[in-house]
Amino acid sequence: MYAMLLLLLSVLLILAPLVLLLRNAKRARLIRLVDKIPGPPSYPFVGSELSLLLAPRNKQWGLLQMRLRKYQPIMRTWVGPIAVVHLTRPEHIEILLSSTRHLEKSFAYKFIEPWLGTGLLTATGGQKWHVHRKMITPTFHFSILDSFVEVFSEKSEILVKKLQKEVGSPGFDMFPYVTHCALDIICETAMGTPVNAQEEAESSTYVRALYDISRLITRRVPRPWLHNDFLYKLTRDGRRHNECLEVLHGFTKKVIQERKKTRLNSSRTISEQQEDEGIGKKKRLAFLDMLLDASEGGTKLTDEEIREEVDTFMFAGHDTTSASICWALLLLGLHPHVQSKVHEELQCIFQGSDRPPTMKDLADMKLLERVIKESLRVYPSAPLFSRLLREDIEIGGYTIPAGSTLRVNVYCLHRNPDQFPNPEKFDPDNFLPERVAKRHPYAYIPFSAGPRNCIGQKFALLEEKTVLSYMLRHYELRSRDSREDMNLLAEIILRPENRVRMSIKARRKEGAEMRSS
């Protein structure tokens, strides 16, 4: 026994220095290769990000863009000991995103994991991610999205009514109205459970928790002193974070349990339940129902895995969509001639009727679709995203070593003048088919691209078309602030520092105009 222990200690004494030597050699190689890439000066322990962290919150995004313009197309920074390589060119980004070997998200996503677990957004790209992606993809089929349009319309009608009190106002913040509408939509389509955010946002514990946890995660990510879980839990933010988790997880788990009990009373599948036998009326679906149905029919998901995917859908489909709609409204309010043309398109489709849009109507909104796409080019909802490299990659003449983080700067990518001439100009014609055909396929990626592209992008586009078409059919909008007045904050999503101030005027119906003439 003693001899065995002595042998074990001897092996450890020999191996420990070797492991340290190999680790140091690997680290030295990473530093050597990364520092060949242009970038700002870096200092021990603090890296090269200290000036950004010390800058006022509303100046950080502008400083990052200045750096990128100086060092582009590829820039190296150090966030403490972490090497971050920034990409801004489509041909470089294609190498990363088109690969099936570089699917792991960066360390920043770990701060979302307490809420979302390892669902599609945060999973590393291993077996679980592949299985869930394959299973969830059919839930965004065209025929299923068709059933969601009814929800989009119902919530948009409430939004239009809520905005009536702002008619004639010299200016009001559009963001809360749109955000509450988007939250109503995502709750009902994800869980089949209304939260009535547009009517009861102030009194809803779930709504407040959803807002608060997004704000807390946003505040934590850029602050290294809040990264340690133990220390974070001792702070006021950490305590509120845990309270929010209890509310959000408790709500989702309760909905899942209630839905499973309901399903036990019926042996029919979702497809069989779509037609209500007495009246032939389609049953309204929810993402949760389809997950439960898919799980019963094939790959089994635990309640926790189902909860992770429903919460992921809630997170990914709420803030991003509301921000996208608000940016589109800002730009339309600054370009009345474009807004007028969109209204003409809607008049041709609806002929002055207040009826809800059909899928065909939404498909016919060609100009509005171009407006949405151009808005996402100018103001991408997700302006940055990152991948952690587990093996070396060659990009732009540089070997970027395993262990580095690759950061795709979508905001900068969408402003490449060789891909978008006069890139700061709002021009929906950038998305005419003949122009799109001439561009690099990775020059425009508001929903990412490649194997880990956004699975809900068709859902988002249909939702945005529905909400915007309702608003533009009922109101004429004007923006009270210029683009230069909008300080950008790029945290989890790209949002304005303050408000999206607008004024609205009710549109006259075609019939009313004819009677008055």
* Dist CA 159 CA 515 (whole Å): 28
Strands 501-506 and 475-479: antiparallel
| DSSP state for residue 497 in the 8-state scheme | S
Question: Is 187 annotated among the ligand-binding residues?
Answer: no
Report whether 100 contacts 126 (CB < 8 A): no
> Which phi-psi region, left, alpha or beta, contains residue 191 (left: φ > 0; alpha: ψ -120 to 50)?
alpha
Backbone angles phi, psi at 105, to 5 degrees: -70, 160
Measured distance CA(437)–CA(421) in Å, rounded: 15
Q: What's the distance, CA 52 to chain centroid?
A: 24
List Cβ<8 Å contacts ≥24 apart for 252-257.
Answer: 252/191, 252/307, 252/310, 252/311, 252/314, 253/303, 253/307, 255/191, 255/192, 255/193, 255/288, 255/310, 256/288, 256/303, 256/306, 256/307, 256/310, 257/303
The tokens describing 273, both together, are: 């339940």
Question: What is the spatial distance between Cα 58 and Cα 490, in angstroms, rounded to a whole number?
Answer: 9
SS (H, E, C) 255-280: HHHHHHHHHHCCCCCHHHHCECCCCC
Per the annotation, binding residues for heme are 454
Per the annotation, binding residues are 454
